[in-house]
Amino acid sequence: MKDLILGIETSCDETGIALVGKDGIIAQALHSQIALHQQWGGVVPELASRDHLKRLLPMIDAMLKEHNIDQQRIAAIAYTGGPGLIGALLVGACVGAALATAWGIPAIPIHHLEGHLLVPMLDDPALTFPFVALLVSGGHSQIVEAKALGQYRILGQSIDDAVGEAFDKTAKTMGLAYPGGPMIEKLALDGDEDRFELPRPMLHEDLQMSFSGLKTAVVRHWQGCSQSEQDKKDLAASFQKAAFDVLVHKCKKALASFDKPSLVLCGGVAANQALSSRMQALMIKLGGKLHVPNRALCTDNGVMIAFAGYLRWQEGLDPEAVAAENIFVSPRKSIEESQLY
């Protein structure tokens, strides 16, 4: 019986694979390239592509063997078609399409942000459409209305840096390793969040956001202080508070017109406990419900791509559109055009 979807995620610096079926996650594996890129202070696209290429097939082979899964059970392959680094995306797409051709099954290109957006549905039956999502990653900060599978509308977004990017740049300014998010979160726990006065950009404009001015203000404060360990903690805490004040305020605004709203918090920055606590408090106030994926499923992974592929496969696919020889890679497409095939 063909009942499983193999997911492949290679949009940036994680090689993620997973098998998802009606009982949820059957198997998964993840290789992070953080160590590879850390010495350069950020992701080097060419190194990322080469590493995905080196690892992908052996990882898939090992996962199938380890879980004793017969390849005959795989009904389709879902791969990240975009957005992301073009070379990295092409590796996942070509490996996925080649395997799908060899196995005589469809290959479904998945929008990376749709993967982030839908993954909380995997183990949370209470979460159904419609809902609003705050999608905060290294490349995107968006408030999205999800009406149904494939029907997404951007209500607001950052006009410059993404929140994750601001975390990474703040960390870099203070001499911390890439990626900065987890380090800033840790430092902030022991910091004074009111010590440094930082801007809350575009707070009073509709649902658009901006984080580049906040990043510049962080640099200015860092250069103007003694750069001690306590300064680091206080600046991390003050930065985090400023960024989250903006996110909470914008979500509150976005949800004002929804009755008993459901808010999905997703993307890498959703792994931040301080952010999820603040969003939880907001949702209690609004009489709605917050849904956050498990911490490990907030950052990039193969499960989210397999699950989005599973939902699309379950809904029924046009065999011609998802024929394995059609390879779809689109590095910049918006979530509003989430159907890449």
| Interface residue list for Zn ion (CB under 5 A) | 137, 300
CA 152 → CA 54, 117, 130, 216, 288, distances in Å?
Answer: 35, 10, 10, 32, 20
The entry of ligand KG4, Zn ion, none near residue 167 (CB within 5 to 8 angstroms by kind) is ligand KG4
Phi then psi for residue 19, to 5 deg, are -115, 125
CB of 114 to ligand KG4, least distance (A): 12
- Cβ atoms within 10 A of the Cβ of 227, count? 12
* Cα–chain center distance at 242: 21
- Angle at CA of residue 134, ends 131 and 139, nearest 5°: 135
By C-beta, is 92 or 164 nearer to ligand KG4?
164
Residues in the chain: 341
The entry of Zn ion, ligand KG4, none near residue 269 (CB within 5 to 8 angstroms by kind) is ligand KG4
The entry of ligand KG4, Zn ion, none near residue 271 (CB within 5 to 8 angstroms by kind) is ligand KG4
Label the pairing between strands 24-32 and 74-82.
unpaired
By C-beta, is 109 or 138 nearer to ligand KG4?
138
The entry of ligand KG4, Zn ion, none near residue 96 (CB within 5 to 8 angstroms by kind) is none
By C-beta, is 99 or 291 nearer to ligand KG4?
291
Residues that bind ligand KG4 (CB under 6 A): 12, 137-139, 164, 167-168, 179-182, 185, 267-269, 271-272, 299-300
Phi then psi for residue 21, to 5 deg, are -140, -165
Phi then psi for residue 177, to 5 deg, are -75, 155
CB of 325 to Zn ion, least distance (A): 27
The entry of ligand KG4, Zn ion, none near residue 185 (CB within 5 to 8 angstroms by kind) is ligand KG4
